[in-house]
Structure 1
Amino acid sequence: MKRPVLQQSVKVVLGQGAIPVGSLSFNKDGARENSTFAYHDAWLASIDRFEISPDLPLVDGHQFRKPPSKEDSIFHFAFADTEPDGWGCRVIARDHAKRRKAAHARGERVPTAALTEMDYLLGVDDMSRIGALRLRDEAGNFLRTIEDGGRGTPPLLELAHLLSATRAVETNRETVADLKYLRGRGTSLGGMRPKCTVLDDDGHLAIGKFPSVKDDRSVTRGEVLALHLAAAAGITAADARIVMSDDIPVALVRRFDRVAGGGRIPYLSAGSMLQASRAEDHAYTGIADVIIARSVDPKHDLEELWRRLVFNLLITNVDDHVQNHGFLHVEHGQWRLAPAFDLNPFPDKDPELKLWLSEEYGPVDSIGAVFEAASYFRLSDTEAARVLGEVYQAVLGWTRVAKSAPVGMTNEDIDAFAPAFENAQMEEAARLLA
C-alpha cells in the first residue's frame, strides 16, 4: 500500500519585527524528500531585501531543494543553519520516543510515523534559533514555542537543573520531566556536546556548555581559555566565562547574533556561504573567496580569517570545519565575519586542521605553509609577520590566561592542556619570527 504524501508548510519571517519573507514547504513521498521555498511579494519589493541564503536568489516562484548527499540537509542553507545540532537532535528524538511510550501505556493510539527533517527543524525554540530567521504556523504561532506557555529560556539560576537534565540524557537515565525541561532549548552551535540555551544575568542570550561524563580533561575551561586567548591575539571572539554550578565548571558563551532588547542579526555559516556539501572537504581559501565577494570590509575580514587560521594551528584547534566559521549580515546583502566561536584546544590530537589551507595544498599542517599563503589573504610579508607575531605572543602567555578568573584552570588542568599550546608549530613560528 502506497504511503500518503506528507506536506508541511510554514511562514518565514525575519527578526523581532517578524517581517514577512516567504514560505517554506517540506514534502515527503515515501523515501523521497525535498523542500521548496518561495519569497513573499512584499519582501521582493522591499528596499531592505537581500538573499536570505546564497542558494535562494531574489526571484518569484518556488525554489526546489533536494540534498546532494545523505549527509546534507534537505533544506536550503540558511534554514539548515538553524536546525538543531547533534545534541539537540538527540534530545528531540529521545523526547519523541518517551512521548510515544507514555501514550501507549495510557492505551492511546500511537502514530507510527518517525520524526521527519521538518520535525527536527521545528523542534528548536523560537527564542534560541540561530540568526534572525523565524518560522510561523498558519495561526501565527512562532515555532517552536513552549506548549504550556512557560518560559522557553531559563536563567542562570537554573544551571544546576539544566546540568542534571543533560547529564541524565547523556547517561540514558532521562525522565519525561527531564526531556520536557530540555525540549526546544537546543542550539545550532556546538555539535554533540551537552549544552542548553540560557539567559545571562543581564538577560542576554547565551549558551551553557556542560562537561561530558566522557571527558578526561576540563573541556569547558579549555574552550573559555581559547576564546580569551583569541581576543588577546587580536581576534574578534565570542564573550565567554566559566560559571560554577556547585563544583562543576560550565562554559557560558554569549550569543553574538543578538543585540540589546532582543534584536536578531541574520547569520550564515561559512558552509552555507560556500554552498558546501558536508560530504566534501573545504579550504580556508574558499572562505577567503566568499569574503572578497560578499564582505562589507574585505581587507579587514581577510586579515581576520588568516589570523584565525594561524591561531587555530598554534593552539591545536583541529575542529575548525566550515560550520565553525560564520557571517553576520550588515545591510543590503553585505556581510562580515562573525566573532570566532567553538575554539577548542586538543592536546591529544595531531596538529592538522580539519579545513584545508587550499585545494592545492590540502590540510593545514605547517605554520610555514600558512605564512607562504598569506598573499592569498591579501597580506604582504610585513603584514603577515606582524599578525603572526601578535598571535604567537598571545599563545605564548597561555598559562597566565588559564589561571585568570574567567577561566580558572588548576595546575592539573594546565598540565593536561600543555601539549596543545607548547608544540612544534609554536617552535616553527618562533623561527619564522627570528
Structure 2
Amino acid sequence: MIDRLNVTLAFDDSSHATPIGQLGRDPTRRGFAFEWDSEFANSPLLIWPVKARRMVGLLRGARGLPGVFEDSLPDGWGRLLLDREIRATGASTTELDDMQRLAFVGCHGMGALTYRPSTTPAERSDIDLGWFEHNVARIEEISDIDVLQRLRALSGGSQGARPKFMAQIAEDGVTLRDHRCSWEQGWTPVLIKGRGSMDAKGSIEVELAYGEMMRVAGITSRPMFALEGKQERFFGTQRFDREAGRRVHMASVAGLLDTGLQHGVFDYLELMRLAKGICRNKADTAEELFRRMVFNVRAISRDDHIRNHAFLMDMSGSWQLAPAFDVTFDLGPGGEHSMAIAGEGRFPGRAAFSKVAEVGGIRAKRRDEIIDAVDAALSCWPEMAAKHQVPERLLQDIYSKMAEARGWE
C-alpha cells in the first residue's frame, strides 16, 4: 500500500519537475492531507487559486482528495479500465483508494501535475486504432492483464464515459504512437474518442460538425478531425494541455471549487464571476465565456457540467480559460442544462443571457452582437452536418430543436 505521494509540477516531459509537496493519508479524519513543499510555498504559482491562495499548513479536501488533485483522477472510461485491471490481478477494487489511483496516473495524466511513486507500465511506441476498436468492443470479457494495462495507460487519466485514448499523431494525420513518447517535431499530442454504447449512430459526426460551427462562431477550441476505424469513425482533437513538448497546468471548475462532479449546483453567473476573478484578461474572458454559453443553449449542448469547463495556468502563474471541449448535441439531465443560466435550466433565452452579460460587464450592444454571431454560425448546421455525414434523421431532429431554442425569451 502506498502511504505517501510526492506531487510535482512538470511543465515539460523531462525529469526537471518542481516539487510542490506530499500527499498522505490523514487517519484522524479518515481522509487525505497535503503538505506544501517549503520552497514551493513561496512560489507565485498558485495551482489552486480559489482554495489555496496561501500555501501554508495542511491542505484538505471537502470530501476526500483536495479538488486540485482530484482533477487528476480518471473517471468514466478511465476508471472502468483501472477497476478491470485490478480485478484481473485477483485484488478487490474496494481496497484501492483515491491516493493509490493517483499512483496509477503517475507522471502521464492530464495537465502538469505528476505523482510518484508511479505504477504506470512502460510505453510502447506504436498504436493500432484497429487494436483499440477491437478491444473496446469486447471490454466486458477481457481478462488479459497486459491488454487492460495498455488500454489504461493509453487513457492518460482521461475523464468522461466514452472510450478514449491519448496519443501523438504524425503529420500524415493517420500514424499514431504512445502519448508518453518524448515529443519530437512533426508529432502532435491528440485525444481520440469513440462512440459510447449509449450514443446514437452519428454522434461522432455531430461533434465534428459542432466543432466547425464553434470556430465559425468565434469560440476558441482546438482543431478536430476524424479517424476511420475498421467499423466506425473516431473523433480526434489536439490536446490543449500539451504544446510542442510542454505541459500546461489545468484545473476544471469542479476541481477549483472542490465540489466533485455534481449537476445543477452551479450557474453561469457564478462561472462568470469565477473566470473574471482568476483570469488575466477579464474583458476578453467574459466575452468568450458568454459566447460559449449562448452556443451551448442555442445548439442544445446541455452536458455543460462543471468538469466540462476548465482553466489553464502557464509557467508565470497566469490563468486563462481552456479552449472549449466536449461540446455536442445533448438533451441534458431531465431535459435541462447541467449548469443553469441565471437560474433557468430548461428554456434559457435573452432574459437569462442579459443577466449573465451584466455580471460579465458586457454592454447590451455587444451582448446582442455576440448572440447574433452565434445564431449566424448555427444557421450553417444543415451544411455542416451534411459535410460531416450526420445521418439525415439526426440532422433534422437537431435542426428543429435549434429552431425552438432561438425562440426562447
- 8 Å contact 1:144–1:184 — kept in the other structure? no
Q: Structure 2: which 5+ residue stretches go unaligned?
A: 172-186
Q: Corresponding residue for 1:150?
A: 123
Number of aligned residue pairs: give it.
390
SS for the counterpart of 1:54 is: coil
Q: Which has the larger radius of gyration?
A: 1
Matches for 1:298-309 after TM superposition, within 5 Å: 298-309=282-293
Please report the RMSD computed on the Cα atoms of aligned residues, expressed in angstroms. 2.7
- 8 Å contact 1:98–1:176 — kept in the other structure? yes
- 8 Å contact 2:194–2:233 — kept in the other structure? yes
Following superposition, the deviation at residue 164 of structure 1 comes to: 1.5
Q: Corresponding residue for 2:52?
A: 56
Mapped to 2, the partners of 1:351 and 1:208 lie a distance apart of: 28
- 8 Å contact 1:87–1:195 — kept in the other structure? yes
Deviations 1:301-360 (A, max 9, x none): 1111111111001111110011100111145443111100011202698763110123xx
SS for the counterpart of 1:324 is: coil
Select 1:42's aligned residue among 34, 39, 43.
39
- Residues 83 and 113 of structure 1: is their aligned pair in 2 closer, same or farther, counting only changes over 3 Å? closer
Q: Corresponding residue for 2:164?
A: 195
Mapped to 1, the partners of 2:26 and 2:135 lie a distance apart of: 33
Matches for 1:3-18 after TM superposition, within 5 Å: 7-16=3-12, 17=14, 18=16
Q: Corresponding residue for 1:432?
A: none
Following superposition, the deviation at residue 186 of structure 1 comes to: 2.2
SS for the counterpart of 1:49 is: coil
Matches for 1:373-392 after TM superposition, within 5 Å: 373=355, 374-392=357-375
Matches for 1:346-361 after TM superposition, within 5 Å: 346=330, 352-358=336-342, 361=343
Deviations 1:113-165 (A, max 9, x none): 721111222222633x111111223xxxxx3532xx332x754xx11111112
Q: Corresponding residue for 2:307?
A: 323
Select 2:221's aligned residue among 230, 234, 237.
237
Instruction: Name which structure has the greater RCO, CA cutoff 8 Å, separation 6+.
Output: 2
Q: Corresponding residue for 2:30?
A: 33
Matched, 1:134 2:114: yes
Which amino acid letter does the alignment assign opposite residue 75 of structure 2?
D
- Residues 187 and 9 of structure 1: is their aligned pair in 2 closer, same or farther, counting only changes over 3 Å? closer
Mapped to 2, the partners of 1:113 and 1:284 lie a distance apart of: 36
SS for the counterpart of 1:126 is: coil
- Residues 298 and 275 of structure 1: is their aligned pair in 2 closer, same or farther, counting only changes over 3 Å? farther
Matches for 1:25-424 after TM superposition, within 5 Å: 25-27=23-25, 29=27, 33-46=30-43, 48-52=44-48, 54-61=50-57, 63-68=58-63, 74-100=64-90, 114-124=95-105, 126-127=107-108, 129-137=109-117, 143-146=118-121, 149-151=122-124, 154-155=126-127, 158-169=128-139, 171-173=140-142, 175-202=144-171, 203-260=187-244, 262-276=245-259, 278-279=261-262, 281-330=265-314, 332-346=316-330, 352-358=336-342, 361-363=343-345, 365-373=347-355, 374-404=357-387, 407-415=388-396, 417-421=398-402, 423-424=403-404
Q: Percent identity?
A: 21
Mapped to 2, the partners of 1:271 and 1:174 lie a distance apart of: 33
SS for the counterpart of 1:345 is: coil
- 8 Å contact 1:284–1:356 — kept in the other structure? yes
TM-score with structure 2 setting the length: 0.86
- Residues 301 and 85 of structure 1: is their aligned pair in 2 closer, same or farther, counting only changes over 3 Å? same
Following superposition, the deviation at residue 189 of structure 1 comes to: 4.7
Q: Structure 1: which 5+ residue stretches go unaligned?
A: 69-73, 101-109, 138-142, 430-434
